[in-house]
Amino acid sequence: MALVGSSIVVGKTLVERCPVFLLGTLRFAVASLVLVPVVVVARRGGPAPRVRDLAVLALQAFAGIFAFNALLLSGLRYTSAAEAGIVTSTTPALGALLSVVLLRERPTLAKAAALGLAVLGIAAVSVGPHDAARGAQPVLGNLLVFGAVVGEALYLVCGKVVSARLTPLAVATGNSALGLAMFLPFGLAEARGYDFAALGPGGWTALAYYGVVVSALAVPLWARGIARVPASTAAVFTSVMPVSAVGLSYVALGEPVLWSHLAGGACVVAAIVVSARAG
């Protein structure tokens, strides 16, 4: 989730140079080039996915890859990286709620306490004053980012279901390949007339990080984690994402870090400890 949080900062810099759907196409093309050969070698002789597996994987890719990234990148055109990171704070609550409603997971006192600490931490992050450069239309931008959060929460629940039969590597590869297929028609349309030189060396480097580190590395790690813990527990760990985004917004983009951000980060760490001990 710390690496996923970095995608908000990277996405903020890239979306200012590249159209949203073309950026998504390039990102998942890079990720697929890395993951597909690996999974082909790793799965030789393994069981083939069933139709139900593919259906859930397609829903997961649409919610957590296509919708999440399209809405997040669109939102970043109108709001700051720090505020986008803060809006993603609703992911733990939505993920835990959906795990109880859709997966019938039984809530426990420890998990409720961990979720409460996570939400408290993000609330602490949210109360501090923010930089004046909030973006062109921060309300619209934050609403779009919240839509992305809904997609991320559905991605979490679908990941728990599909991980019962597919390996984390297979899930991550399927998500990248399906995400590429979903972005491709729109990306090709935006590529017409686009000057790829506008990305520059720094943009291509950021794109490589976006595709390799965030998509080809962080997503398999996240899929592996989802497979090993209840979805409600995994939901708590998503609270690392907004704290990471706010921290990196300060380091990479020069946005201010406040005492409230530090207090929120401490609450998130406490939430992770409580959740880990609860199993």
Choose among 83, 92, 102: nearest CA to 8.
83
Residue 114 has pLDDT above 90, yes or no: no
- Cα torsion 20, 197, 207, 7 to 10°: value is -50
Residue 186 has pLDDT above 90, yes or no: yes
Assigned token pair, 232: 């409600």
Residue 65 has pLDDT above 80, yes or no: yes
Segment among 85-94, 119-128, 207-216 with least mean pLDDT: 119-128
Report the amino acid identity of residue 66: F
Q: Which residues contact 165 (CB under 8 A, 6 or more apart)?
A: 47, 49, 50, 53
pLDDT at 116: 77
pLDDT band at 237 (very low <50, low <70, confident <90, very high): low
Structural domain of 77: 2-107+132-228
pLDDT digits (tens, 9 = 90+) for 118-171: 677 656 655 555 555 556 677 788 789 888 888 988 888 887 778 777 887 888
Any domain includes 207: yes
Any domain includes 115: no
Torsion over CA: 195, 71, 261, 218 (sign): negative
Q: Report the distance separating Cα 211 and Cα 29, nearest Å.
A: 8
Any domain includes 264: no
pLDDT at 30: 93
Any domain includes 208: yes
Any domain includes 123: no
For the chain, the average pLDDT equals 78
pLDDT band at 181 (very low <50, low <70, confident <90, very high): very high
Question: How many domains does the chain fold into?
Answer: 1
DSSP string, 132-183: S---SSHHHHHHHHHHHHHHHHHHHHHHHHHTTTS-HHHHHHHHHHHHHHHH
How much of the chain exceeds pLDDT 90, in percent? 19
Q: Report the distance separating Cα 243 and Cα 38, nearest Å.
A: 31
Do 99 and 226 form a contact (C-beta atoms < 8 A)? no
Any domain includes 144: yes
pLDDT at 227: 64
Q: Report the distance separating Cα 157 and Cα 134, nearest Å.
A: 32
Q: 239 in helix, strand or coil?
A: coil
- Cβ atoms within 10 Å of 75's Cβ, excluding its own: 29
Residue 91 has pLDDT above 80, yes or no: no
Residue 177 has pLDDT above 90, yes or no: yes
Assigned token pair, 34: 């890395």
Q: Report the distance separating Cα 235 and Cα 157, nearest Å.
A: 9
pLDDT at 194: 92
Check: pTM over 0.95? Answer yes or no: no
Assigned token pair, 29: 């093309």
Mean pLDDT on 55-62: 92
Rama region for 29: left / alpha / beta (φ>0; ψ in -120 to 50; rest)? alpha
pLDDT at 122: 59
